[in-house]
A and B are shown apart, each in its own frame.
Chain A
Amino acid sequence: MNFTLHLTEACNMNCAYCTREKRAVRMSEEVLDAACDLAFAEGSRAGLCFFGGEPLLERGLIQRAVSRCADLSRKTRKPVQYRMTTNGTLLDDEFLALALRENIEIGLSFDGTAQDIARHYADGRGTMAVLEAKAKALLRVQPHCYAMMTIAPQAAGKTAESVKYLYQLGFRRITMTPAYGFRVSWDDSTLALLMQQLREIAAFWSACILQGDAFYFSPLDAKIRECITGSQPAERCHLGFRQMPVTPDGKIYACTQFIGDADYCLGDVFRGLDREKQRELARRDAAPDSCRECALRPRCTNSCGCLNRLETGDERRVSPMQCSYERALIELADAAADRLYAAAPQRFAKRYQ
């Protein structure tokens, strides 16, 4: 079973778009141990994603989890996988050695040259100067790690520059999503600016692929792949199934966006999962009414309950920003893919087959 462990609600940063409340609340050792045990109790493997707040504020808990899971893995003969999303500011050689030894795959929240626009320390200082060195150290240990960009409207104009910067730094797997939620405000002009930047990124991405580079950029690659395979991002929402968050008090929720909502609490680490509630979630009709007749529905994230909730407060309601972005992105990704296919059909086929 996969869990996202919210080891702490504290964070040493205060990003302009972050919607999470920061509090000095940490997971107890008792909750952590029970979460590890439960992860091994069902399924053929266990997975833990260390998350927060900032998880590296609680590296002692990470070490404890890894140690306990090693025992559990030996006893149950089930493999275990670790990941961690971090702002990176607290990465050091000691932790990178642990990550290397225990195979903790790290995703670095890093907005590239746009970093200082929205990602600040709690006291307001920028983090770019610190993070570049941390990113280089991480890439030395995990060359395949993800850089995870979140683009706020005020940083839209730096998106392309940021992607190229991250690429030149050594990242070959870059995810990017617009910042959503009540702390940001997109409008027509900032969205148009973002799409213009994405067109520039698409040209850069194509050039990289044509020269044989394995460069993965999530907004383009995901849309193209989904079109080829016929898979639906609508199915992507793993609400209550694939990976569930565990809060510091041990409660298990359907998704991080639903933490604190009793309707989406699926149990706790001591008593286990409420299977009936899980089934109820699985049966839910996730498609928003506004999207039912849309021809792009199979390729859009409209039924991601977590995103909808973040944007509109309603699991089954999309926002104008989400709809506009998805429509524009699909058109842009298809155009880029068509050009790439025309230029190098075999290389394209190899990449996506």
Chain B
Amino acid sequence: MEIKPQKTARRPMYAAALAAAASAAVLTGCGTAGEVAIEGDGPTPVAQQITVITDTTPDTTETTARKTELILDGDMVVETERPPQVMGLIPPVTDPSDELQLEGEATVCPAYQNENESARLRGLMDADRLIAGFEKAGYSLAETDVWLNLPEMDLQAALLDKDANVMVLFYDGSADEYGESCETVLRRSLAGFEPAIRDWGANAKVRDAVGEHRAVFVDINKYGEMTEEAAEKIANNVTEMIP
């Protein structure tokens, strides 16, 4: 037994074949029913790197209520097959992240079985670049600024009494943990908060008992990799609203 890094890796026939089949489906127009429409600023080079195409038509015959799968400790469980349906016992679970992903699409981690958890993790890994982008735009994300937890879409509850000027949440707009896309949920949640829908997500003013905050919602699907340019653009958009 030895540690032996491999110089090359074969692409298996099955993976290539399924990828080709998926591309063909897109070219023929299948799979575009859930395309996310982006309002606001025109496309930027960053936004153009990724075309967000989803086919997330909810299957109303099955529950989608348990996407934040708790795992059994002692093993890492990746569910692939639907469990057998047993009347009156456990509802079948569907996982949108189990779907084949198009090449070039921003990757979420199916093993999390919760795209927003993965999105948050990815976002936090990119946080340093976002902070740098804000600094370049003349604003420091101070320690009191809050990095929001998961898709806490009840904004007033999530932000209530937080002593912060700017709050940031990374999310996956195409995830449908709620039976509809997070993009839809977010827009509904933002109604009444003067939201500005951006090509990287959205930002809004939120008022609570403490005062006025700027909430920043960054869709990991829309920037792909957080480049310096993307971070600066986000920062510029948001700092316009910072007094």
Contact = CB atoms under 8 A, between A and B. Distances in A.
A, B from the same assembly: yes
A227 B15 contact: yes
A258 interface: no
A214 B66 CA distance: 21
Contacts of A238: 112, 117
B contact residues, range:
35 or more
A290 B4 CA distance: 8
Interface stretch (B122-130, B200-208, B225-233): B122-130
Nearest to A84: B72
A253 to B, nearest CB: 12
A282 B153 CA distance: 22
A142 B76 CA distance: 20
Given A188-B1, A214-B82, A324-B2, A142 B74 contact: no
A291 interface: yes
B3 interface: yes
Interface stretch (B35-43, B102-110, B215-223): B102-110
Interface in B90-135: 90, 97-101, 103, 107-112, 114, 117-118, 120-121, 124-125, 127-128
Interface in B1-33: 1-10, 12-15, 17-19, 21-22
Contact of A143 (B6, B86, B97): B86
B100 A43 contact: no
B173 interface: no
A234 B74 CA distance: 18
B77 interface: yes
B90 A320 contact: no
B3 to A, nearest CB: 4
Contact of A232 (B6, B9, B109, B128): B109
B72 A107 contact: yes
Contacts of A342: 13
Contacts of A324: 1-2, 4
Contacts of A279: 124, 127, 147
Contacts of B98: 225, 229
Contacts of A4: 73
B2 A323 contact: yes
Contacts of A154: none
B59 interface: no
Given A51-B73, A228-B15, A345-B17, A320 B2 contact: yes
Interface of B (DSSP majority class): loop
Contacts of A42: 149-150, 152
A105 interface: yes
Contacts of B83: 143-144, 172-173, 214
B100 A107 contact: no
A230 B101 contact: yes
Interface string A331-343: 0001001101110
B160 interface: no
Interface residues of A, number: 92
A204 interface: no
A337 B120 CA distance: 32
Contact of B81 (A143, A172, A233, A293): A172
Interface in B165-203: 177
B79 interface: yes
A85 B215 CA distance: 40
Contacts of A143: 83-84, 86, 89
A216 B81 contact: yes
A215 interface: yes
A181 interface: no
A222 interface: yes
* Max chain A C-beta neighbours (<10 A), residue from B73, B79, B97, B151: B73
A61 interface: no
B14 A296 contact: no
Given A144-B83, A283-B128, A321-B1, A43 B15 contact: no
B1 A337 contact: no
A259 B8 CA distance: 37
B174 to A, nearest CB: 14
Interface string A14-53: 0000000000000000000000000000111101110100
6 shortest interchain CB distances as A-B pairs: A144-B83, A47-B70, A294-B5, A107-B72, A295-B9, A341-B14
Interface of B: 1-10, 12-15, 17-19, 21-22, 65-66, 68-84, 86, 89-90, 97-101, 103, 107-112, 114, 117-118, 120-121, 124-125, 127-128, 147, 149-153, 177
25 contacts: A42-B150, A45-B68, A47-B69, A49-B71, A79-B66, A83-B70, A84-B72, A105-B90, A143-B89, A175-B75, A221-B80, A225-B98, A228-B18, A228-B19, A229-B110, A235-B112, A238-B117, A241-B120, A241-B121, A242-B117, A275-B147, A282-B125, A296-B6, A320-B3, A327-B4
